[in-house]
Amino acid sequence: MKKIIYLILAAILSSCTYHFELDEVDACEKLVLYCFPSNKDTTVIQLSKSVPVSKREPLDKSVRNADIHFTVNGKEQAIYWNEDSTSSLPAQCYYTLGKWGKNDCLQLQAASTGLPAITAQTVMPDNFPLKEIRLAPKGDSDNTLQVLVTFKDDGGTNDYYGIRLIKKEITTKDGDEDVSFQSVEFDLKDEPLLNNLSDLDEIFMFSNRFFQNLYIWDDEKIPGKEYTVRLNMDYQKDYDVDWDNFSYREEYKIYLYKLSPEFYSYFKTLNNINNNDLGNHGLSPMLHHYTNVSNGIGVVGACQITETEWLKNVH
């Protein structure tokens, strides 16, 4: 059905086609920087190099031996290199140690031979202003669980928030336990802050996906108010099968985010690109990634993360 709609739109909408030679595109190589400081004790700094479309060469996974300076409120922090992937660090990345708090100013500079030096900065936001978390079955439904998060916005600032939920499934058979984890995709029809689809969008079956199931919003509609976010998810009750010596359990961990403007803007553009169905079919312009890296590509954005304990399933 969606393909039919795109064919109809293609017939209705006029478009222009341009021809150019990629070999003639004159673009210089740049450093690509991604860094998301938080209140966790390790900050990963991923530095690579862009490759212009006119150059036929493989992408560099990382730039080694770069000159990197990371400061917090003007104080230089030690930078380390990690070669192989670990449980807490990706392979071939830089990192620094330390937890950062509200209003800390984080500045990052990087330089590598033959490439323009880059700079970026962000400021640590405050903690997520949580009031209450509740899990409850939705109405009379046996298979929908509603996650209700109440918080109080600060009316004196522009604030940005996020939520992500991880579900843990525990199955036990004959004494052997198997555990699996997955991020939850919410049904947003009961949450106007996150349900951005209009009636026309729904008719054309356009998307409202959130990158890596991190659901983000701003306080434009709720300045200074106490508000409860309502998110629906599929629900399976815990159960036991005595004759088969089998049991099934679910637990949930909720991550709440307070985001810097840079972090929010970057993920907002990722969502817009991911949901640009018309652009993916050549019916509208492709969107560009947000960046706050001067002379380069990428983003440096901060967040404060609040996480719950593992919450038991609702019965």
pLDDT value, residue 199: 46
Where in the chain are the domains?
2-123, 130-290+304-312
Tens of pLDDT along 187-215? 999 999 999 754 444 444 445 689 899 99
Question: Of 132, 133, 136, whose CA–CA distance to 315 is shortest?
Answer: 136
Furthest C-alpha separation in the chain: 71
- Phi/psi region, residue 70 (left: phi>0; alpha: psi -120 to 50; beta: rest), is beta
pLDDT value, residue 216: 97
Tens of pLDDT along 105-134? 999 999 999 999 999 999 999 999 999 999
Angle at 34 between CA 29 and CA 36, to 5 degrees: 165
Angle at 149 between CA 146 and CA 151, to 5 degrees: 160
Percentages (nearest 5) of helix, strand, coil residues in the chain: 15, 40, 45
Going by pLDDT thresholds of 50, 70 and 90, the confidence category of residue 242 is: confident
Global confidence as pTM: 0.85
Residue 189 neighbours by CB distance under 10 Å:
12
Average pLDDT over residues 7-32: 55
Query: How does the average pLDDT of the chain come out, rounded?
Result: 86
CB 108 within 8 A of CB 121: yes
pLDDT value, residue 57: 64
Choice between 140 and 49, residue whose per-residue pLDDT is larger: 49
CB 267 within 8 A of CB 289: no
Average pLDDT over residues 42-47: 97
Q: What is the DSSP letter of 60?
A: B
Task: Judge whether residue 281 has pLDDT over 70.
Answer: no
Long-range contacts from 269-274, C-beta under 8 angstroms, 24+ separation: 270/211, 271/209, 271/210, 271/211, 271/216, 274/207, 274/209, 274/211
For residue 106, the number of C-alpha atoms closer than 13 Å in the C-beta half-sphere is 29
Q: What is the DSSP letter of 283?
A: S
The fold of 2-123 is Immunoglobulin-like (2.60.40)
Tens of pLDDT along 49-98? 998 766 666 666 789 999 999 999 999 999 999 999 999 999 999 999 99
Choice between 142 and 21, residue whose per-residue pLDDT is larger: 142
CB 260 within 8 A of CB 105: no
pLDDT value, residue 1: 47
